[in-house]
């Protein structure tokens, strides 16, 4: 868990610095920075989205995940969380806080470094991958928070819960989080990150929050395959 704790602290520190940098920046500079960040997020999404192992599984995951997320109305809960944070901690628009939280959470949680690093942390106590990830996340959180505000800091909670759960359940998850599963989870996450960039650029309003369950469909697919093989 040490690697995850360090990773979370790095995001909090970087996000706090970025939040301080945001104060006093003229609106026209905020706009161009937002567009630059959005294009960067788009490239991250495209890069991750092309790392799939099973394209059909990625498509099915997005469809099933969207149905589950819409039924649970996750997006509404994220917006309510944004409203709560806005009232208590910031004068920023609540949608910006929610957008910052979701964007940063996805970027920091989805990918091989997060999954493999957490597995190694839990199985052998090797923190090297998560320590390297902490440096990257800390630096990027400065940029994200200077654009989105305080919502980015709270993505540290997502990282702590996500990576921490993998580390604590490493012995069980090792058989499920195979290389193909990690690749497909990364690809699904990449599609969602790309969708966020479209929201940031105001090209299309996509309920990314309602698509979040799609990330975990490849794990359940692997469980199903293991059960079939068992018979």
Domain boundaries, the chain: 2-230
- Residue 54 CA to residue 184 CA, distance in Å, equals 7
Q: What is the pLDDT of residues 156-179, one digit of tens each?
A: 998 999 999 989 888 788 778 888
Q: Is 50 helix (H, G, I), strand (E, B) or coil?
A: coil
On whether the CB atoms of residues 58 and 201 are closer than 8 A, the answer is no
Work out the angle at residue 54's Cα, subtended by the Cα atoms of residues 48 and 59, and round it to the nearest 5 degrees: 75
pTM above 0.75, yes or no: yes
Read out DSSP for 22-36?
A: HTT--HHHHHHHHHH
On whether the CB atoms of residues 118 and 12 are closer than 8 A, the answer is no
The number of beta carbons lying within 10 Å of the beta carbon of residue 113 is 18
Output the average pLDDT for the chain: 85
Q: Is the pLDDT assigned to residue 23 strictly greater than 70?
A: no
Q: What is the pLDDT of residues 134-155, one digit of tens each?
A: 998 998 898 888 888 888 998 9
- Residue 54 CA to residue 6 CA, distance in Å, equals 33
């Amino acid at each position: 868990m040490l690697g995850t704790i360090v990773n979370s602290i790095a995001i909090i520190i970087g996000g706090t610095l970025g939040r301080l940098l945001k104060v006093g920046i003229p609106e026209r500079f905020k706009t161009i920075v937002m567009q630059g960040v959005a294009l960067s997020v788009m490239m991250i999404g495209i890069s991750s989205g092309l790392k799939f192992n099973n394209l059909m599984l990625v498509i099915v995951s997005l469809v099933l995940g969207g149905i589950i997320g819409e039924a649970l109305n996750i997006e509404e809960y994220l917006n309510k969380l944004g409203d709560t944070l806005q009232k208590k901690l910031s004068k920023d628009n609540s949608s910006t806080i929610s957008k910052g939280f979701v964007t940063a959470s996805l970027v920091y949680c989805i990918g091989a470094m997060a999954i493999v690093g957490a597995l190694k942390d839990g199985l052998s106590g090797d923190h090297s991958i998560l320590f390297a990830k902490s440096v990257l996340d800390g630096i990027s959180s400065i940029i994200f928070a200077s654009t989105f505000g305080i919502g980015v800091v709270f993505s540290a909670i997502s990282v702590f819960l996500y990576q921490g759960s993998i580390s604590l359940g490493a012995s069980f998850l090792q058989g499920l989080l195979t290389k193909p599963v990690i690749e497909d989870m990364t690809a699904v996450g990449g599609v969602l990150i790309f969708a966020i960039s479209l929201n940031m650029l105001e090209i299309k309003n996509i309920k990314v929050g309602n698509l979040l369950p799609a990330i975990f469909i490849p794990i359940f697919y692997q469980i199903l395959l293991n059960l079939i093989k068992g018979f």
